[in-house]
Structure 1
Amino acid sequence: MSKKGSIESSNTQTMDATEPGTLTHSASENSYHSNSSNDRSYQEQISNINSQNANLKTINKHLVNQEDTLKLQGGDVARHLYSQLENVSSKELTNSKRRTRSSSFSNFLSQSRRQSTASDINIPGGFRREFLINKSLQENTEPPNFLTRNFVEFLSIYGRFAGENFDDDDNEEQYEETFDEESLLLPNERRTPPTRRPRPEKKGAANVPKTFFLVFKALVGSGILFLPKAFSNGGLLFSAIMLLCFGILTFLCYIILIRSKRILNKSSFGELGFKTHGKPLRICILISILISQIGFVATYILFTAENLISFIENYLHFSANYVSTRNIVIVQCILLIPLVLIRNLAKLSIISLISSVFIVIGLIIIFYFSIMKISVEGVGDNIVYFNSSNWSMLIGVAVTSFEGIGLILPIESSMAQPEKFPMVLSISMCVITTLFMSIGVLGYSTFGDQVKSIIILNLPQGKLSVQFISLLYSLAVFLTAPLQLFPVTKILESLIFNSYLFNDNTTTARKKDDEGKLYHFSGKYSTSIKWSKNLIRAILISSICIIAYLNANNIDKFISFNGCFACIPLVYIYPPLIHLKTYKFDRQNDWKGKFFKIFDYILIIVGIVAVIYTTYQILFLI
Structure 2
Amino acid sequence: MKAKENIIVSVFTVEPNRNANSNNGSDTYAMSQSTEQILSGKSVSRAENGNAEISHHVTHPTSYMDTMLHIFRGNIGSGLLAMGDAFKNGGLVFASVTTAILGIICVHAQHILLNYSEEMHRQLKCDKPPGYAETVYLVFHHGPARWRGLAPFMRLMINTFLCITQLGFCCVYIVFIANNVKLICDHYELKLDLSIHMILVVIPVLLACMVRNLKYLTPFSTIANVMMAVGVSVVVYEAAQDLPSVSSRDYIASWQQLPLYFGTAIYAFEGIGLVLPLKNEMRRPELFQKPFGVLNVSMSVIGSIFIVVGFLGYLKWGNDVQGSLTLNLQPGLLLSNVVQILIALAIMFTYPLQFYVPIDITWPVLREKCGPNSLVIKELGYRALLVLLTFVLAESIPQLGLFISLVGAVSSAALALMFPPLIEMVGSCRKSSGPSALILVKDVAIIVLGVFIFVTGTYESVAAIIRAFQS
Shorter-chain TM-score bucket reads 0.7 to 0.9
Instruction: Give 2:336's match in structure 1, choosing from 463, 466, 472.
Output: 466
Instruction: Give 2:313's match in structure 1, choosing from 443, 461, 464.
Output: 443
Cα distance in structure 2, aligned partners of 1:467 and 1:426: 36
Q: Which has the larger radius of gyration?
A: 1
TM-score, L = length of structure 1: 0.62
Output aligned runs, 1:173-212, within 5 Å.
200-203=55-58, 205-212=61-68
Q: Secondary structure in 2 aligned to 1:478?
A: helix
In the TM superposition, residue 394 of structure 1 has moved relative to its aligned partner by 0.5
In the TM superposition, residue 305 of structure 1 has moved relative to its aligned partner by 0.3
Q: Secondary structure in 2 aligned to 1:200?
A: strand
Say whether 1:329 aligns with 2:198.
Answer: yes
In the TM superposition, residue 595 of structure 1 has moved relative to its aligned partner by 4.5
Contact 1:168 1:344 in 2 (8 A): no
- Counterpart AA for 2:136: G
Instruction: Give 1:612's match in structure 2, choosing from 413, 431, 455.
Output: 455
Q: Secondary structure in 2 aligned to 1:462?
A: coil
Q: Secondary structure in 2 aligned to 1:317?
A: coil
Output aligned runs, 1:74-113, within 5 Å.
none
Cα distance in structure 2, aligned partners of 1:570 and 1:168: 17
Contact 1:225 1:454 in 2 (8 A): yes
- Counterpart AA for 2:294: V
Instruction: Give 2:189's match in structure 1, choosing from 317, 323, 338.
Output: 317
Q: 1:360 maps to which residue?
A: 229
- Counterpart AA for 1:324: D
Structure 1: 5+ residue stretches without partners: 1-150, 178-194, 504-525
Contact 1:273 1:279 in 2 (8 A): no
Structure 2: 5+ residue stretches without partners: 1-8, 23-30, 38-42, 122-128, 141-149
Q: Following superposition, which runs of at least 4 residues in structure 1 exceed 6 angstroms of deviation?
A: 157-161, 174-177, 195-199
- Counterpart AA for 2:422: L
1:57-77, CA deviations, whole angstroms, 9 ceiling, x for partnerless residues?
xxxxxxxxxxxxxxxxxxxxx
Q: 2:132 maps to which residue?
A: 269
Instruction: Give 1:403's match in structure 2, choosing from 270, 274, 283.
Output: 270
Q: Secondary structure in 2 aligned to 1:342?
A: coil
In the TM superposition, residue 616 of structure 1 has moved relative to its aligned partner by 2.1
Instruction: Give 1:528's match in structure 2, choosing from 368, 374, 378.
Output: 374
- Counterpart AA for 2:55: P
Cα distance in structure 2, aligned partners of 1:612 and 1:259: 28
Contact 2:16 2:215 in 1 (8 A): no
- Counterpart AA for 1:202: H
Q: Using a 3 Å threshold, how does the CA distance of structure 1 residues 384 and 615 change in structure 2: closer, same or farther? A: same
Cα distance in structure 1, aligned partners of 2:16 and 2:74: 10
Please report the RMSD computed on the Cα atoms of aligned residues, expressed in angstroms.
Answer: 3.1
Q: 2:157 maps to which residue?
A: 284
Contact 2:67 2:278 in 1 (8 A): yes
Output aligned runs, 1:9-20, within 5 Å.
none
- Counterpart AA for 1:351: F
In the TM superposition, residue 366 of structure 1 has moved relative to its aligned partner by 1.2
**Number of residues paired by the alignment?**
417
- Counterpart AA for 2:93: L
Cα distance in structure 1, aligned partners of 2:115 and 2:440: 12
Output aligned runs, 1:193-592, within 5 Å.
200-203=55-58, 205-265=61-121, 266-275=129-138, 276=140, 277-314=150-187, 316-318=188-190, 320=191, 323-374=192-243, 378-379=244-245, 382-388=248-254, 389-422=256-289, 423-498=293-368, 501-502=369-370, 526-552=372-398, 554-583=399-428
1:141-176, CA deviations, whole angstroms, 9 ceiling, x for partnerless residues?
xxxxxxxxxx87635399999x9422699xxxx899
Cα distance in structure 2, aligned partners of 1:371 and 1:216: 22
Q: Using a 3 Å threshold, how does the CA distance of structure 1 residues 539 and 232 change in structure 2: closer, same or farther? A: same
Contact 2:259 2:453 in 1 (8 A): no
In the TM superposition, residue 380 of structure 1 has moved relative to its aligned partner by 7.8
Larger RCO, structure (CA 8 Å, separation 6 or more): 2
Q: Using a 3 Å threshold, how does the CA distance of structure 1 residues 450 and 288 change in structure 2: closer, same or farther? A: same
Q: Using a 3 Å threshold, how does the CA distance of structure 1 residues 255 and 358 change in structure 2: closer, same or farther? A: same
TM-score, L = length of structure 2: 0.81
1:403-461, CA deviations, whole angstroms, 9 ceiling, x for partnerless residues?
11221110111112222111210001110000000000011111122222221122221
Q: Using a 3 Å threshold, how does the CA distance of structure 1 residues 380 and 461 change in structure 2: closer, same or farther? A: farther
Contact 1:222 1:359 in 2 (8 A): no
Output aligned runs, 1:120-159, within 5 Å.
154-156=12-14
Q: Using a 3 Å threshold, how does the CA distance of structure 1 residues 444 and 176 change in structure 2: closer, same or farther? A: closer
Q: Using a 3 Å threshold, how does the CA distance of structure 1 residues 212 and 168 change in structure 2: closer, same or farther? A: closer
Cα distance in structure 1, aligned partners of 2:321 and 2:132: 38
Contact 2:91 2:250 in 1 (8 A): yes
Q: Secondary structure in 1 aligned to 2:409?
A: helix
Contact 2:10 2:278 in 1 (8 A): no
- Counterpart AA for 2:80: I
Indicate the percent of aligned positions where both proteins have the same amino acid: 25
Contact 1:166 1:487 in 2 (8 A): no
Contact 1:383 1:445 in 2 (8 A): yes
In the TM superposition, residue 387 of structure 1 has moved relative to its aligned partner by 1.1
In the TM superposition, residue 579 of structure 1 has moved relative to its aligned partner by 1.9
Say whether 1:601 aligns with 2:464.
Answer: no
Q: Using a 3 Å threshold, how does the CA distance of structure 1 residues 441 and 168 change in structure 2: closer, same or farther? A: closer
- Counterpart AA for 1:214: H
Contact 2:205 2:352 in 1 (8 A): yes
Contact 1:238 1:385 in 2 (8 A): yes
1:360-417, CA deviations, whole angstroms, 9 ceiling, x for partnerless residues?
111211122222232xxx3489511111131110001000001112211101111122
Q: Secondary structure in 2 aligned to 1:202?
A: strand
